[in-house]
Amino acid sequence: MTENKEMLLPKDTRYLKYPADGPFDQEKARWTAFNCSRCSVCKWVDSWRVKSAKYARICPQHTKYLYDSHSGQGKCDLALALIDGKLQWDDDPEIKNILFQCTMCGGCDAMDKGIRDAELIKMYRWLRSEYVKRFGPLPEHKTMTDSIREYDNVWLQPRLKRNNWVKELKGMGIKDLNREKSDILFFAGCTYGLSDELKGTIVNIARILLKNNIDFGILGNKELCCGSPPSKTGILDEFERLAVSNIKQFNALGVKTIITPCAGCYGTLRVEYDEIEEKKNFEVLHVAEYLDRLCQDKKINYKKELGITVTWHDPCHMGRLGRPYVPGRDLEGVYEEPRNILKSIPGVELVEMERIREYAWCCGGGGGAFTGFKDFARWTARERLAEAMDTGAEMVVTSCPWCETSLRAGAAGMNEKMETVDLFDLMVKAL
Amino acid sequence: MKNRDRNNEQHQQILGAFQTALGQENVSDGPATMNAYFGDWLPPKTLGTSVPPEFVVLPNGTMETQAIVKICNRFKIPFIPVGSNQWSLSSAPNRPGTVIIDCKRMGEIHEIDEKNMFAVIEPLVSLAQLHAEANKRGLYIGSPEASAQSSAVAGHLFQGMWGVGHRIGVAYRNILGIEWVLPNGEILRTGSFSQDPACGFWGEGPGPDLRGMLRGYAGALGGVGVVTKMAVKLHPYPGPRTWPCEGHIPNQVSILPEDRFSWDIVKYDDLEGAINFMYEVGRAEIAAVLQKWPTVYYAWWWANSNEQYWETWKKRTFQDNVKNAVGVSLWGFTSKKQFEYEKRVLEDIIEETGGKRIPREIYDLWVPRTANNWIRDTNGSRMMRPSGTFLALRLPTDTLRNSIGVVRTGYEWVNKFSPPILDSDGPDWIGGYDFGHFGFGETDFPVEKTPEDLGDLMNKLLGMTKEDLQNGIENGIGPFLGGTYHAMAGKVFKYDKLLKGIKKAIDPNLVSNPPHNIPVED
């Protein structure tokens, strides 16, 4: 076949090859918005994946608030109007809601990538940062922002408390990478590490790793927030500060592999750190990816049969937002590994919800919505729990502290009960 | 061309009336919300006729919609109904003070009657939703090639040239009962809804068939009121209860069971050969889908990135292998035996008409990822990929044979307007419907996406339409141009007096998406 040199090709070379590299600046935001054709794929689950009328929507914000302004399409319209000066940032207080109600789950972004080369989620981050430049962080996010600035974590906790979860494992040989060497860093994350309710999960994970003689270490009091919350809520200077500090620290310690149980940390370390000039000398894995290898090698010795039916909720940041974007490449993520682990546990039957993998419905916990728009976050979680109940499962299993917190908050007050359990807590029950 | 100020007394009166009818949360006049209903699928300023709406309202059901329409009549303000609002074709306001009636709270499937094979749906229900629910029950509908995320109600009213039309006719032929708020605020129920609002199995009458006021080629584009409920036909389906789809976005594949479904792509030396094949397939009353796609369609629906699109196009992968090819999908509706029979008939037709199957490697490249879009479409919006937008210049229904002439004159216009029209290899979509009773020709192409290029091209299209009309050619483009260009519609239809009479009778205050479906002010 011969190449025809007389072809009339578009003048704008971005139509010939989308520039996925480089900073996502105003020009890129405008181009993303300008090329929205109002096709509405951002509002629905991919048509080939629609299994019922009930679970056909992909965007929690648009499904709840209904107006097209509160969808991916509407945000493109808004971006274009703001950039072109047709609307001013202070023209309408609803601009704040349009930009910040969104859970940044990336559902619209994933569906959009099915039909065009674009990065909606980056456009939202850009819009939020522009908003924050003008008006400062949302009052609802201010505590979190102050906490990060003061304590390098989002929970207003002193740095010393970072080490509390390890106390239960004293004498079991967990290395402190500030003093000892290991190729593997276990990055606990602020939420698992500092929450009394959630820290049991990372204790369980550490026990599994230790039992399997995995040589790993932690940063203890020196662990910083990964930067995910400020990144999602428009406070990009804080994100950059944390990202640069973390990359430098990890590189200096000679860490080869970071494993984290937190989906938010995972997506941030693995994908968003690519935006930072400081280069990563390490790979990032979710604990599920790491433990799946042990399961595949039959190195996990289960002793109990659980006799339970469960469904798996895909956290957005270890799924559709868990890989750097390469146009045309599959929207892969950590989808199969947790499912493999669940299937490896004796007496666990996995039943799937209708919306899974890259077309999963969000838990409501992301993007600052859980702190900024509590009722909406709870509604989103309840939609997910209803979907889980329809599978006949007895519990939802997931592996993200934000998903777990949001789904549990959503379940409170519901007539029907649906428990949310962390993957590794379930795993430990069978050991 | 300016809306009232939000502090204007009448604006506040109207706002209050809407809020009383629907509740405060279901009415918006905020600039950021209005901004999302301002544009259409073309870049801003392409036609220069649209203004933001003054209100967006979210009624739930027929009675609330009626209340809104009555308020619009009281204040003599225009309204535009939207379903899923896909592409916003003809729904961008072109007059100040417009109210968008957004049907987002009307998304229920009221009923699927399996035995009598019909569904009763509200305007937000998407074709994918309806298809999925129908499939669960051994039934199906189609979806037009602009993607199944569009409203099923709007899709049935507007054109509806879906792939399965070879078997079940175009979408508007599948409408049964309608519940409809007329522009004057009256409620009209047609077909069996007129006798029992809960029962939608029958579409005709009573008396004259009033569906014709709404549906048909390009429909009424919101110009004759708001459909709040519709009964549509469903058809027996031999496929799986869940739509088959494997892999991840953007490389998903869909393969229907091979013992009941097949795709053949058959190539001919020229368009005449392809159309002759389509006639013969229709005459044999076999197959569910029969389409002659242009080579751009092969690339549009298939390519998963901008780079893949243009690199494949530059290599002429499709241009050299599928020119003048027809896609035909056989379905074993009643049995495997019937499926085997149809396969034998198809073999005979291919042999008798001198057809050749496209190379196996091209078939394997294209069919799994793409072909089933003509049954349930998900990649249609990839039409925008090559340059950010596309346009169509001729879209008439005609006999299959005459469609050849339609697309050939289309080539001439494409050449004349290139650039800004970009490389498109003589685009010539010809769909076959009702077993070959008629065809539909369309000339689609990628075009430079700048307001200047597109605006200039749209004006040239208007000139082309005028020239066509002078030559007695109905080219179908008038209704699609919308806005002021819609003035062409009357001449296209050649029964403009009757249309105007209908519009004036049921829309005395000219509030329902003027100037659609026909301008009456002159």
Strand order in the sheet with B226-233: B109-113, B118-121, B226-233, B175-181, B187-190
B509 has a chain A CB within 8 A of its CB: no
Lowest mean pLDDT segment, chosen from A54-63, B229-238, B382-391, B454-463: B454-463
| pLDDT on residue A381 | 98
What CA–CA distance (Å, rounded) separates B374 from B153? 19
In 3D space, the residue among B164, B159, B185, B203 whose CA is nearest the CA of residue B69 turns out to be B185
Dihedral angle, C-alpha B160, B164, B166, B167, nearest 10 °: -120
Q: Are residues A287 and A354 in the same domain?
A: no
H-assigned helices in A253-373: 263-270, 287-296, 336-344, 369-372
- Are the Cβ atoms of B307 and A328 closer than 8 angstroms? yes
Q: Which helix (H) or strand (E) holds B112?
A: strand B109-113
Q: 3-state DSSP call for residue B119?
A: strand
A359 lies in which domain range?
298-429
Dihedral angle, C-alpha A357, A359, A365, A366, nearest 10 °: 100
A68 has a chain B CB within 8 A of its CB: yes
What CA–CA distance (Å, rounded) separates B309 from B424? 12
pLDDT in tens, B395-433: 778 899 999 988 998 898 899 999 999 999 999 999 999
Q: Are residues A108 and A169 in the same domain?
A: no
Final residue before a domain boundary, out of A245, A269, A292: A292
- The answer to whether A43 touches A59, Cβ cutoff 8 Å, is yes
Total domains in the fold of chain A: 3
| A2 confidence band (pLDDT: 50, 70, 90) | very low
What pairs with residue B266 in β-bridges?
Answer: B326, B357
Residues from chain B contacting residue A390 (CB–CB below 8 Å): none
Cα distance from B348 to chain A (closest Cα, Å)? 31
Q: Which helix (H) or strand (E) holds B16?
A: helix B9-22
**Residue B348 CB neighbours (<10 A):** 12
Please give the radius of gyration of chain B, using alpha carbons only, rounded to the nearest integer. Answer: 23
Average pLDDT for chain A: 95
Q: Which helix (H) or strand (E) holds A257?
A: strand A257-260
- The answer to whether A288 touches A300, Cβ cutoff 8 Å, is no
What CA–CA distance (Å, rounded) separates B285 from B236? 16
Q: Which domains does chain B have, with CATH numbers?
A: 9-102 (3.30.43.10), 109-236 (3.30.465.10), 261-375+390-448 (3.40.462.10)
| A1 confidence band (pLDDT: 50, 70, 90) | very low
- Are the Cβ atoms of B243 and A48 closer than 8 angstroms? yes
Q: Which residue has the higher pLDDT, B457 or A396?
A: A396
Is A6 within a domain?
no
| pLDDT on residue A313 | 98
Is A68 within a domain?
yes
In 3D space, the residue among A358, A380, A350 whose CA is nearest the CA of residue A64 turns out to be A380
| pLDDT on residue A13 | 96
Is A2 within a domain?
no
Q: Are residues A283 and A302 in the same domain?
A: no
Cα distance from B49 to chain A (closest Cα, Å)? 16
Over range B469-485, report the average pLDDT. Answer: 63
| pLDDT on residue B458 | 82
pLDDT in tens, B136-182: 999 999 988 888 999 999 999 987 889 999 999 999 999 999 999 99
Q: Are residues A181 and A283 in the same domain?
A: yes
- Are the Cβ atoms of A38 and B129 closer than 8 angstroms? no
Q: Are residues A286 and A186 in the same domain?
A: yes
Q: Could you tell me how many residues make up chain A?
A: 431
What CA–CA distance (Å, rounded) separates A43 from A65? 12
Is A11 within a domain?
no
Q: How far is CA A358 from CA A103, A315, B308, B377, in A?
A: 15, 10, 22, 19
| pLDDT on residue B398 | 86
Over range A304-327, report the average pLDDT. Answer: 97
Is A340 within a domain?
yes
In 3D space, the residue among A266, A259, A254 whose CA is nearest the CA of residue A212 turns out to be A259
Does the pLDDT of residue B65 top 50, yes or no?
Answer: yes
Final residue before a domain boundary, out of A92, A115, A136: A136
Name the E strands within B117-225: 118-121, 139-140, 175-181, 187-190
- Are the Cβ atoms of B248 and A49 closer than 8 angstroms? no
What CA–CA distance (Å, rounded) separates A222 from A193? 12
Q: 3-state DSSP call for residue A180?
A: coil
Q: In A, residues 286-345, which contact B (CB 8 Å cutoff)?
A: 327-328, 330-332
Q: Are residues A30 and A174 in the same domain?
A: no
Is A252 within a domain?
yes
| B487 confidence band (pLDDT: 50, 70, 90) | low
A-B contacts (CB, under 8 Å):
235
pLDDT in tens, B111-126: 999 999 999 999 999 9
Q: Are residues A249 and A307 in the same domain?
A: no
Is A16 within a domain?
no
Cα distance from B220 to chain A (closest Cα, Å)? 21
B88 has a chain A CB within 8 A of its CB: yes
| pLDDT on residue A16 | 98
Dihedral angle, C-alpha A289, A293, A295, A297, nearest 10 °: 170
Q: Are residues A265 and A323 in the same domain?
A: no
Angle between helices B400-416 and B271-283 (to 10 degrees): 150
Q: Are residues A281 and A304 in the same domain?
A: no
What CA–CA distance (Å, rounded) separates A326 from B394? 36
| pLDDT on residue A238 | 96
Does the pLDDT of residue B1 top 90, yes or no?
Answer: no
Q: Are residues A272 and A374 in the same domain?
A: no
Does the pLDDT of residue B459 top 90, yes or no?
Answer: no
| pLDDT on residue B497 | 85
- The answer to whether A250 touches A300, Cβ cutoff 8 Å, is no
- The answer to whether A35 touches B449, Cβ cutoff 8 Å, is yes
- Are the Cβ atoms of B242 and A359 closer than 8 angstroms? no
Final residue before a domain boundary, out of A136, A155, A180: A136
Pairing of strands A419-422, B27-28: unpaired
Over range A267-285, report the average pLDDT. Answer: 96
Does the pLDDT of residue B256 top 50, yes or no?
Answer: yes
What CA–CA distance (Å, rounded) separates B58 from B21? 10
| B489 confidence band (pLDDT: 50, 70, 90) | low
What's the CATH code of the domain at A390?
3.40.50.11810
pLDDT in tens, A329-370: 999 999 999 999 999 999 999 999 999 999 999 999 999 999
Q: Please provide residue B126's backbone torsions phi and psi, each rounded to the nearest 5 degrees.
A: -85, 160
Average pLDDT for chain B: 92
pLDDT in tens, B303-330: 999 999 999 999 999 999 999 999 999 9
A200 has a chain B CB within 8 A of its CB: no
Q: In B, residues 33-52, which contact A (CB 8 Å cutoff)?
A: 33, 35-41, 43-44
Residues from chain B contacting residue A44 (CB–CB below 8 Å): 126, 128, 149
Q: In B, residues 336-375, which contact A (CB 8 Å cutoff)?
A: 372
Q: Are residues A117 and A247 in the same domain?
A: no
- The answer to whether B33 touches A96, Cβ cutoff 8 Å, is no
pLDDT-above-70 percentage for chain A:
99
Does the pLDDT of residue B42 top 80, yes or no?
Answer: no
| pLDDT on residue B64 | 98
CA end-to-end distance (rounded Å), chain B: 19
B381 has a chain A CB within 8 A of its CB: yes
B184 has a chain A CB within 8 A of its CB: no
Q: Are residues A174 and A247 in the same domain?
A: yes
What's the CATH code of the domain at A262?
3.40.50
Is A13 within a domain?
no
